[in-house]
């Protein structure tokens, strides 16, 4: 990642830190009892996932940034972690207002955290971007599953941030992978896609009532996750020029 790229990302995260996203207070905020039952455990798991002190990530980034002389990366990650904590706070506030209990542990969250704890920056990013890609598809599904305007706007707000997170993490991950021989990049891509498909399947299974209700069967959910993977992590050069006239 070039110094100019880092400057752009730093500007982005600084701007968002100074202008944190808010959900308008006057918005309609009615969650019907059956909707509450449908989403309660599911949204609590994602709220837990958004909540992290980011200690492992900070350590991995500090090691990497000092070796590669990229001090601004440390600040970017610090702001990124705050943005994720802001997501957790927005979800928590919605849940508290609707008497949805918070979760303090969940086995899928625990697996993600364990994997990241053992990782260097590259593996950490693989796991993180996997969670973010799945989160994006999930929050869209959650918005479809509810008639509550506040929750719909909240989901769209999270997706707007997460799309940028995935773009940032993908660029960083691709720049790290660039240093590897071609055969190894191919292997890592295949392994990462497999990991994403497997994880998305587990997430679909554990949130199936909500996802089915939103119209996402297993195949659709996994396909949408993989399509995002291709978009961000397997970019292909696209030409908009008209085909030459013969």
Q: Which residues bind Fe ion (CB under 5 A)?
A: 50, 84, 87, 132, 162, 165
- Compare residues 48 and 214 and give the one whose CB is closer to Fe ion: 48
Min. distance of Cβ 136 from Fe ion in angstroms? 9
Q: What is the separation of C-alpha 107 from the centre of its chain, rounded to a whole number of angstroms?
A: 18
3-class DSSP state of 69: coil
Residue 56 CB-half CA count within 13 A: 17
Closest CA to 83 of 166, 24, 139, 141: 166
* 54 CB burial (10 A radius; 0-12, 13-18, 19+): middle
Min. distance of Cβ 86 from Fe ion in angstroms? 8
- The rounded distance, in Å, linking the Cα atoms of 70 and 90 is 31
- Compare residues 35 and 84 and give the one whose CB is closer to Fe ion: 84
**8 Å CB contact between 43 and 142:** yes
- Compare residues 87 and 103 and give the one whose CB is closer to Fe ion: 87
Min. distance of Cβ 237 from Fe ion in angstroms? 27
Min. distance of Cβ 128 from Fe ion in angstroms? 8
Closest CA to 175 of 11, 6, 60: 6
- Compare residues 89 and 218 and give the one whose CB is closer to Fe ion: 89
Residue 224: Cβ within 10 Å count? 19
Min. distance of Cβ 232 from Fe ion in angstroms? 13
Min. distance of Cβ 165 from Fe ion in angstroms? 4
Task: Supply angle C-alpha 85, 212, 116, rounded to 5.
Answer: 35
- Compare residues 49 and 221 and give the one whose CB is closer to Fe ion: 49
- Compare residues 129 and 148 and give the one whose CB is closer to Fe ion: 129
């Amino acid at each position: 990642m070039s110094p100019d790229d880092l400057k752009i990302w730093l500007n982005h995260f600084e701007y968002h830190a100074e202008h944190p996203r808010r959900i308008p207070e006057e918005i309609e905020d009615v969650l019907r009892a059956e909707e509450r039952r449908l989403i309660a455990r599911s949204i609590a798991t994602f709220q837990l996932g958004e909540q992290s002190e980011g200690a492992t990530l900070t350590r991995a980034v500090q090691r990497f940034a000092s070796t590669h002389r990229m001090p601004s990366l440390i600040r970017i990650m610090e702001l990124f972690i705050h943005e994720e904590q802001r997501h957790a706070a927005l979800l928590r506030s919605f849940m508290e207002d609707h008497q949805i209990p918070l979760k303090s542990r969940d086995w899928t969250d625990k697996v993600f955290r364990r994997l990241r704890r053992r990782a260097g920056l590259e593996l950490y990013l693989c796991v993180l971007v996997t969670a973010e890609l799945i989160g994006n598809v999930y929050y869209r599904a959650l918005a479809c599953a509810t008639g509550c305007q506040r929750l719909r706007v909240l989901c769209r707000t999270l997706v707007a941030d997460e799309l940028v997170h995935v773009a940032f993490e993908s660029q960083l991950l691709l720049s790290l992978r660039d240093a590897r021989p071609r055969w190894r990049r191919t292997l890592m891509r295949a392994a990462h896609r497999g990991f994403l498909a497997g994880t998305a399947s587990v997430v679909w299974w554990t949130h199936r009532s909500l996802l089915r209700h939103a119209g996402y069967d297993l195949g659709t959910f996994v396909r949408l996750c993989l399509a995002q993977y291709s978009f961000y992590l397997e970019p292909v050069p696209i030409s908009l020029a008209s085909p030459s006239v013969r």
